[in-house]
């Protein structure tokens, strides 16, 4: 009879523990696997250093590239919009910071709610634009497979349910809150086994690209 409350307690209890455990174990296995694989020894004499070109590429690949922007402005715009919106909502919303504080033992200052609210809207708009781009741009459509759409849904649901819960657009509130937490648990569980891993591997990959070019003495 207390379904919504039981549901909320389950998402905040057992389900959260399970999801976090799968997430952490999965991420660590993946990272260990990737890093421990290493590369075959390069026997050629290096023509340049690896470290600095690697660091430089981390920066340059993080900034939008002019040519891509001209050809595919929506990819760049939607990408930035969504990532900034998501990161602000995730990392600077006070209730989220309280969760991080409880988990890691430290927190950081947050932003007032209306600003986070606006960021969440930007994130949602950005994701919708990215989906529209993926569906209408012939190249993007050809490149996309099932996993891309799955990952889109996994990312979209927490933003959407969070927005609905914050604005109390689903009743009762324990149900709204439970759905929000459940959507994050779904994201956490599938995170290590999908493209979402880029969150942890992107800087590694960018550094590696730059380092390889640096070693060969070419610009990346």
Q: Is residue 114 involved in binding other proteins (CB under 8 A)?
A: yes
32 burial class (0-12, 13-18, 19+ CB within 10 angstroms)?
exposed
Neighbours of 139 (CB within 10 A): 11
Q: Is residue 12 involved in binding other proteins (CB under 8 A)?
A: yes
How many of the chain's residues bind other proteins (CB under 8 A)? 49
Nearer to other proteins, 51 or 193 (CB): 193
What are the helix and strand counts (H, E) for the chain?
11, 0
Q: Which residues, numbered 139-158, are part of the site for other proteins (CB under 8 A)?
A: 147
Structure tokens at 196: 């979402």
Nearest distance in Å: CB 17, other proteins: 5
Nearest distance in Å: CB 171, other proteins: 8
- In the complex, the residues that contact other proteins under the rule CB under 8 A are 1-2, 4-6, 8-9, 12-14, 16-17, 20-21, 23-29, 31-33, 35-38, 94-96, 98-99, 102-105, 110-114, 147, 168, 172-174, 177, 193
């Amino acid at each position: 009879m207390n379904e919504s409350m039981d549901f909320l307690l389950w998402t905040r209890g057992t389900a959260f523990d399970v999801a976090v455990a799968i997430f952490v174990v999965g991420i660590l296995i993946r990272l260990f696997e990737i890093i421990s694989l290493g590369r075959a020894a390069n026997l050629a004499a290096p023509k340049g250093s690896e470290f600095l070109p690697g660091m430089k590429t981390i920066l340059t690949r993080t900034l939008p590239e002019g040519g891509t922007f001209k050809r595919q402005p929506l990819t760049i715009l939607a990408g930035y919009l969504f990532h900034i919106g998501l990161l602000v909502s995730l990392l600077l919303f006070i209730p989220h910071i309280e969760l991080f504080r409880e988990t890691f033992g430290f927190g950081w200052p947050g932003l007032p709610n209306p600003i986070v609210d606006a960021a969440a809207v930007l994130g949602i708009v950005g994701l919708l634009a990215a989906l529209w781009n993926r569906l209408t741009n012939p190249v993007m459509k050809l490149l996309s497979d099932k996993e891309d759409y799955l990952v889109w849904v996994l990312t979209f649901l927490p933003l959407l349910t969070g927005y609905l819960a914050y604005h109390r657009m689903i009743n009762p509130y324990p149900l709204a809150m439970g759905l929000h937490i459940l959507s994050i648990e779904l994201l956490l569980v599938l995170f290590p086994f999908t493209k979402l891993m880029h969150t942890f591997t992107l800087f590694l990959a960018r550094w590696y690209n730059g380092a390889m070019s640096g070693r060969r003495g070419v610009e990346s």
